[in-house]
Structure 1
Amino acid sequence: MLLKGMLKVLPWIIICALGIYIYISSRPIFNIGGEDDKIEVTNHVIIEKIELLGKLELCKFYMKDIVEHKVIKPWYDKDSKVVLIISGEAVGCIDLRKIDSSSVQITEKQVIVTLPPAEICSFKVDHQSSKIYDIETGFFEDDKKVIDKAYQLAETEIQKSATKMGIEKQTRLNAEIILKPFLSGLTDKEIVLK
């Protein structure tokens, strides 16, 4: 009889236990990352270095390159090869810090400014737009090292290619286009840039 009474109550005990379990599991016991959390951040930023900038960026080349970097291995290991589709950029500029009083000559009709030579002030690979197309590495070679080396060589190639494509010449032309009207607004004399 006691057993029959227990069997009648057992389903109700199971249902109640299941209900309590569902209720407890649906409510977080520890509010981790919840809306009620208070976040406190303390920063102590110090200036490490202040650098004088005087480079006037006048030209930017955006480039794409397909790079195949191959490492020839000894007979006991397989050659490593990576093919990358590289996106990069090079920036042409003129360093205005190199202009001093001897760089400016003023005559009755003209202001003659001798500009410093155009240069590539920065070049880099855009890693977000670049893609690894294919990679094969040897048994003793780390994929990451092969890819890093290929990216380093690609970055150097961006600088060389920008020079070959005439970034310095384009920078000089852009200097004329930008600086002549600016300097003409400061004086009524003819501006000559050298």
Structure 2
Amino acid sequence: MRKLILRPDLRTLQVVSAEVLTHTDVTGCKVVEVADDFDPATALVNWTSLTIGVDLTIIDTRLAGSVKREAERRKMQTFSAGNAKAQEYVQKGKEAAASATLTAAVLNALSVTNAAAQYPMAHAERTITGETLSAVLARYRASKAASDAELARLSAIEWKAVQTIKAATTPAAKQAAFSSINWNQTV
């Protein structure tokens, strides 16, 4: 166990080991035992009564932030990195949605001018790859469906994790909720 020195004259906290405490002037201070994992940044101090509590909102903010960063990292693994790449996915998604109700015959019968105007990403890709316009757009739709499903799965896990952390009423319960996140959970 560590010791926490409350210095009311300075309104500061100092966490020390028992050994260091024996060599520290604690005149006018209150000394209390704290757990080894005590984080002074989460302490709520009542300087009048010299009591200590824990600010659970700080823990919520930290753990929820960690969940959101991890969710974002995992979501980005679904895509390639880069802002321009994100714009490419948006455009391909629009083209995939716009072509969803058209048959391959209709898509492949579009003139070069119409294909380039209506489906610029798919048209450019087909001219490079030699695929048909319908094949490129079918690939876009399949990729979009897979990435949309993965994003939905990760978003659901993220939301549930943050809610569970916020609902926990002790620092240990909040940490346990954070530690129990299953990023591989399926829907």
Band the TM-score falls in, shorter-chain normalisation? under 0.3
Higher relative contact order (CA 8 A, sep 6+): 1
Q: TM-score by structure 2 length?
A: 0.23
Question: Structure 1 or 2: larger strand share?
Answer: 1
Q: TM-score by structure 1 length?
A: 0.22
Question: Structure 1 or 2: larger helix share?
Answer: 2
